[in-house]
Amino acid sequence: MPEEAGFPPAKRFRPGCGPPRGRVLMLLTAGGGGGRRRPQPALAQPAAGVYPEAVERQRRSLPIFAARGQLLAQLRALDSAVLIGETGSGKTTQLPQYLYEGGFGRQGVIAVTQPRRVAAISLATRVSDEKRTELGKLVGYTVRFDDVSSEDTRIKFLTDGMLLREAISDSLLRQYSCVVLDEAHERTVHTDVLFGVVKTAQKRRKELEKPPLKVVVMSATMDVDLFSQYFDGAPVLYLEGRQHPIQVLYAKQPQQDYLHAALVSVFQIHQEAPPSQDILVFLTGQEEIEAMSKTCRDIAKHLPDGCPPVLVLPLYASLPYAQQLRVFQAAPKGCRKVILSTNIAETSITITGIKHVVDTGMVKAKTYNPDSGLEVLAVQRVSKAQAWQRTGRAGREGSGICYRLYTEDEFEKFEKMTVPEIQRCNLASVLLQLLAMKVPDVLTFDFMSKPSPDHVQAAVAQLDLLGALEQKDGQLTLTPVGRKMAAFPLDPKFAKTLLLSPKFHCTEEILTVVSLLSVDSVLYDPPSRRDEVQAVRRKFMSSEGDHITLLNIYRAFKNLGGSKDWCRENFVNSKNMALVAEVRAQLRDICLKMSMPMVSSRGDGESVRRCLAHSLFMSTAELQPDGTYVTTDSRQPVAIHPSSVLFHCRPACVVYTELLHTSRCYMRDVCVVDADWLHEAAPDYFRRKLRAARDGAHCP
């Protein structure tokens, strides 16, 4: 039986003595009380009721209502404001309505951005309900593949990526009077770029004597000073939330094995707490979660008499949708739900009924090394902000408890904030978009958190190799090819592949390939059924590599009607496959608008591979005499990823789509190419590389 987990006596915490809040210029408290309803951006919920009075009463009961007048007055006087509000303050649903009611919708549309699609859609639905209007009229939303807005729309919810794309065709954001950047504390790449874009638009509109652009940054409790400083000392307003109190318990001593500690904690809670209280455990990845699920189920079989049964549910993004949905269903009466999740349950998925959160303090995260072009996926400590976010998941319906499997001293040593994504990702795509917006000097663009010069330089070099850049009057600008590349919602290298495809008579095929590569994998590989998967997949496998294999799968899917049954039988994720078809249609439209000829190679894999060789020549690896591979670009030792159809093969020369460092450095999505094609594609590049390799050999 599990031994004692070792938690010290409870430490009570309420909103206020929890996460650091930064400098607060004005403190506003909730007016009234009572109402328990809180908005949940991630879940579609109907508004308070069908009766207008009920809606109005509920709106007035929210903490933000007391701040309404001051907020509007401030925004009339100033161009920017920062609004800090905890969960339940009502800021996301109410502020856009206040702005509209305050007349800000007369000069233009009020935009509200969200990092996630579901949030944009469900918020628009809620607010249009509260306004008792039809969705798409006064209140609407715009996300990729789905635009429910019209000329009448005054309040528009968008994903931050969508507003960014709109900014490419109009960097002054002329149709908008206000931009509300919500969930700013998440610091997604898109939000970070938007910070700069809206700030620039504000300045330019002022210079051109156009109507002002009002900007409101909305965030949870972090980064207050940073936001305020960036927007020229914008005032910060603080709103009280309606989060329930959460007890935070720390481990007594550092834990050597967080998995063991998690297991012990889960079963200690299970034996002590009423079975109606569900448990959410934060772990790092699929493999770990599946292994832990099995262990939990095994232990649950041998619990003492009188101990309630447990329902163990894994949760991670690549889990098939139907299995993800199981976490929302209530467990049978008398049975406890134990959800083992990645950080998907931190923000993207909100589960009701969670009373206990077990936080291992670990997360798997990607970092990017500009020197080698290598992405590193590694388990690391969470930040304090992230730990508080996890803790908050225990207090959504009532008071909760968070068990931190690390000591308070350890917690104090965690980084305050997670490093913003823009400082740990490949910037090629960001740079291409900024250049497409005609940002005068991308190298000195006013980022809130500047990426390192190495990162920027690596992106410039990458775009240059793709033929997207040129120098004009000492400034970087886009070539005609670069401008075309920016029109596609794709990684720049895939956009280039698509643009090259007519030359190889395989545009239809490349459309399919880049669509497949730009969404989550369509292949479903349950580890427990590995042999079955292997047998089924054999019929699609191509000795030419993963790209041609994927093409075969897509063809079979289309030719056989694309049914869900076919997907199930062939271990294909039908949801992702449907998305591929949507992406493909969107890309095809863009190609047609550019008058690209729609040509097909009719099953000839070689022309597809030639096309890939010509666009991805900077991502190649060569077989060494000892049977290993090194990249041509930086002589980095690499291996073919075990998921590749070429895992057991050793072609002399390959191009790859992605380099990922996990337990070692892997190439993912690998395609067999002829070395001659590569030299033909970029003779200067390979001459340079050859010389570097030779010189390197002489003086190591």
Stretch that binds DNA, among 75-83, 215-223, 507-515, 643-651 (CB under 7 A): 643-651
In angstroms, the CA 685 to CA 114 distance is: 41
In angstroms, the CA 47 to CA 132 distance is: 9
CB atoms closer than 10 angstroms to residue 191: 27
Q: Nearer Cβ to DNA, position 78 or 623?
A: 623
338 is written with which tokens? Answer: 């134990």
Burial (Cβ within 10 Å: 0-12, 13-18, ≥19) of residue 456: buried
Given candidates 366, 483, 575, 679, which one binds DNA under the rule CB under 7 A? Answer: 366
Subset of 477-516 contacting DNA (CB under 7 A): 489-491
Smallest Cα–Cα separation from 571: which of 374, 332, 318, 337? Answer: 318
Provide the minimum distance between the beta carbon of 322 and DNA in the complex, in angstroms, as a whole number: 15
Q: Nearer Cβ to DNA, position 80 or 372?
A: 372
In angstroms, the CA 156 to CA 113 distance is: 8
> For residue 278, which phi and psi values (nearest 5 degrees)?
-85, 160
What mask of x and - would describe binding to DNA in positions 555 to 594, judged by CB under 7 A? Answer: ----------------------------------------
73 is written with which tokens? Answer: 């007055």
**40 lies in the binding site for DNA (CB under 7 A):** no
In angstroms, the CA 203 to CA 509 distance is: 45
Q: Is 655 left (phi over 0), alpha (psi -120 to 50) or beta?
A: beta
Subset of 177-196 contacting DNA (CB under 7 A): 188, 190
Helices (H) and strands (E) in the chain, counts: 25, 25
In angstroms, the CA 88 to CA 102 distance is: 22
Q: Nearer Cβ to DNA, position 607 or 620?
A: 620
Provide the minimum distance between the beta carbon of 368 and DNA in the complex, in angstroms, as a whole number: 9
Smallest Cα–Cα separation from 446: which of 173, 212, 199? Answer: 199
Angle at 303 between CA 301 and CA 304, to 5 degrees: 140
Smallest Cα–Cα separation from 539: which of 523, 526, 556, 524? Answer: 556
**426 lies in the binding site for DNA (CB under 7 A):** no
Provide the minimum distance between the beta carbon of 108 and DNA in the complex, in angstroms, as a whole number: 20
**285 lies in the binding site for DNA (CB under 7 A):** yes
Provide the minimum distance between the beta carbon of 611 and DNA in the complex, in angstroms, as a whole number: 20
**660 lies in the binding site for DNA (CB under 7 A):** yes
**520 lies in the binding site for DNA (CB under 7 A):** yes
| Structural contact between residues 446 and 198, judged by C-beta atoms closer than 8 angstroms | no
In angstroms, the CA 274 to CA 284 distance is: 27
Subset of 430-469 contacting DNA (CB under 7 A): none
Q: Nearer Cβ to DNA, position 30 or 517?
A: 517
> Residue 184 is which amino acid?
A
Beta strand 665-672 with 637-640 is: parallel
Smallest Cα–Cα separation from 503: which of 617, 583, 612? Answer: 612
Given candidates 582, 643, 675, 682, which one binds DNA under the rule CB under 7 A? Answer: 643
Given candidates 133, 521, 542, 634, which one binds DNA under the rule CB under 7 A? Answer: 521
Provide the minimum distance between the beta carbon of 414 and DNA in the complex, in angstroms, as a whole number: 17
What mask of x and - would describe binding to DNA in positions 589 to 618, judged by CB under 7 A? Answer: ------------------------------
Q: Nearer Cβ to DNA, position 377 or 578?
A: 377
**170 lies in the binding site for DNA (CB under 7 A):** no
Provide the minimum distance between the beta carbon of 307 and DNA in the complex, in angstroms, as a whole number: 30
In angstroms, the CA 202 to CA 185 distance is: 21
The 3 state secondary structure assigned to 571-611 is: CECHHHHHHHHHHHHHHHHHHHHCCCCCCCCCCCHHHHHHH
Q: What percent of the residues of the chain are helix, what percent strand, and what percent coil, each to the nearest 5?
A: 40, 20, 40
In angstroms, the CA 445 to CA 674 distance is: 40
Q: Nearer Cβ to DNA, position 1 or 378?
A: 378
Given candidates 538, 593, 648, 694, which one binds DNA under the rule CB under 7 A? Answer: 648
DSSP 59-127: HHHSGGGGGHHHHHHHHHH-SEEEEEE-TTS-HHHHHHHHHHHTTTTSSSEEEEEESSHHHHHHHHHHH
Provide the minimum distance between the beta carbon of 612 and DNA in the complex, in angstroms, as a whole number: 18
**143 lies in the binding site for DNA (CB under 7 A):** yes
Provide the minimum distance between the beta carbon of 473 and DNA in the complex, in angstroms, as a whole number: 29
**287 lies in the binding site for DNA (CB under 7 A):** yes
| Structural contact between residues 394 and 353, judged by C-beta atoms closer than 8 angstroms | no
**415 lies in the binding site for DNA (CB under 7 A):** no
Q: Nearer Cβ to DNA, position 318 or 449?
A: 318
Q: Nearer Cβ to DNA, position 335 or 541?
A: 541
Stretch that binds DNA, among 90-98, 156-164, 380-388, 607-615 (CB under 7 A): 156-164
Provide the minimum distance between the beta carbon of 640 and DNA in the complex, in angstroms, as a whole number: 5
User: Which contacts qualify for 673-676: CB closer than 8 Å, 24 or more apart?
Assistant: 673/609, 673/610, 673/612, 673/613, 673/620, 674/613, 675/622
Stretch that binds DNA, among 80-88, 172-180, 362-370, 500-508 (CB under 7 A): 362-370
| Structural contact between residues 191 and 184, judged by C-beta atoms closer than 8 angstroms | yes
**365 lies in the binding site for DNA (CB under 7 A):** yes
**317 lies in the binding site for DNA (CB under 7 A):** yes
| Structural contact between residues 340 and 293, judged by C-beta atoms closer than 8 angstroms | yes
Provide the minimum distance between the beta carbon of 122 and DNA in the complex, in angstroms, as a whole number: 11
**78 lies in the binding site for DNA (CB under 7 A):** no
**162 lies in the binding site for DNA (CB under 7 A):** yes
Stretch that binds DNA, among 71-79, 255-263, 563-571, 639-647 (CB under 7 A): 639-647
Q: Nearer Cβ to DNA, position 117 or 137?
A: 117
Given candidates 61, 228, 360, 518, which one binds DNA under the rule CB under 7 A? Answer: 518
Stretch that binds DNA, among 19-27, 235-243, 633-641, 688-696 (CB under 7 A): 633-641
**282 lies in the binding site for DNA (CB under 7 A):** no
What mask of x and - would describe binding to DNA in positions 90 to 129, judged by CB under 7 A? Answer: -------------------------xxxx-----------
Number of residues that bind DNA (CB under 7 A): 50
Close Cβ partners of 625 (under 8 Å, ≥ 6 residues apart): none
Task: For 263-278, give one letter per residue: b (16+ CB within 10 A) or e.
Answer: bbbbbbbbeebebebb
| Structural contact between residues 635 and 693, judged by C-beta atoms closer than 8 angstroms | yes
Q: Nearer Cβ to DNA, position 121 or 618?
A: 121
Beta strand 362-369 with 637-640 is: unpaired
Q: Nearer Cβ to DNA, position 317 or 690?
A: 317
Provide the minimum distance between the beta carbon of 336 and DNA in the complex, in angstroms, as a whole number: 23
Provide the minimum distance between the beta carbon of 395 and DNA in the complex, in angstroms, as a whole number: 22
**625 lies in the binding site for DNA (CB under 7 A):** no
Residues across the chain: 700
Contacts with DNA, residue ranges (CB under 7 A)? 115-118, 143-144, 159, 161-162, 165, 188, 190, 284-287, 316-318, 342-344, 348-349, 364-366, 377, 429, 489-491, 518, 520-521, 525, 527, 530, 639-643, 647-648, 660, 662-664, 666
